[in-house]
Amino acid sequence: MPETIQKTAVQFKEVNSTTVFISETKANYADSKALLEKNSLRLMAYKEALVLIDKNPELKEQLKGKWFYLAGKGLEESEFHTFDNEGKLTKGKGDIEKTVYLWNGKNPLSLGVHAGGSARFGERRFLLNANSGPQGVAPVVVGVRAGHEVAAPKIEASGGAKFTPELKEKFRTTVAKVDGVLAPELTDVLKEALRAME
């Protein structure tokens, strides 16, 4: 870890009851993850980050002109997208505040929140980046509480009926059994589906 991180206690501050915690600590990908874990926090998925920042003007204001690491890695395309209230991406430009540019690559994801003229000139508020390597030092570390799920759409059974507690428990048990057996990317999809059910 960088010398400044080792010598000083890193503090995270929640932004106005948003469930998002920020530390004004410069850190690369590995250090960002480690600092969050040490403080019982985790990296956000890009959908969470987009939705939470979009819904909270104070959070957006604090993050303007900065970028930070997210959970996940790799993007296959470089182009403009808009996002909805659940963080789902659709190709094309829309309102600047709902537009994100995806920059393809195989590296860990990061999210830039453009300020003022940069947002207007670039015709988007956000940059979802998988092009920069994990050694890049982000100006802030941002995360949410471990175990806290945000912006996951609720899944309903066909006909609009909600999943029963018994079915959820069966699914939870099944996910636990296959965790470590299946490839991590498959297990992650199952875990995301489980979180969406709850």
> How do beta strands 126-129 and 99-103 pair?
parallel
d(CA 105, CA 109): 9
In a domain, 150, yes or no: no
Q: Are residues 11 and 90 in the same domain?
A: yes
Q: How many domains does the chain have?
A: 2
pLDDT at 147: 73
**Which pLDDT band, with edges at 50, 70 and 90, does 157 fall under?**
very low
Q: Are residues 28 and 106 in the same domain?
A: yes
How large is the average pLDDT for residues 33-39?
95
In a domain, 151, yes or no: no
In 3-state terms, what secondary structure has residue 24?
A: coil
> How do beta strands 141-145 and 105-113 pair?
unpaired
pLDDT at 4: 42
Chain segment 116-149, per-residue pLDDT in tens: 888 888 899 999 999 999 999 999 999 999 876 6
- Of 192, 108, 188, 185, nearest to 150 by C-alpha is 192
How large is the average pLDDT for residues 145-167?
55
Look up the domain containing 25 and give its range: 3-145
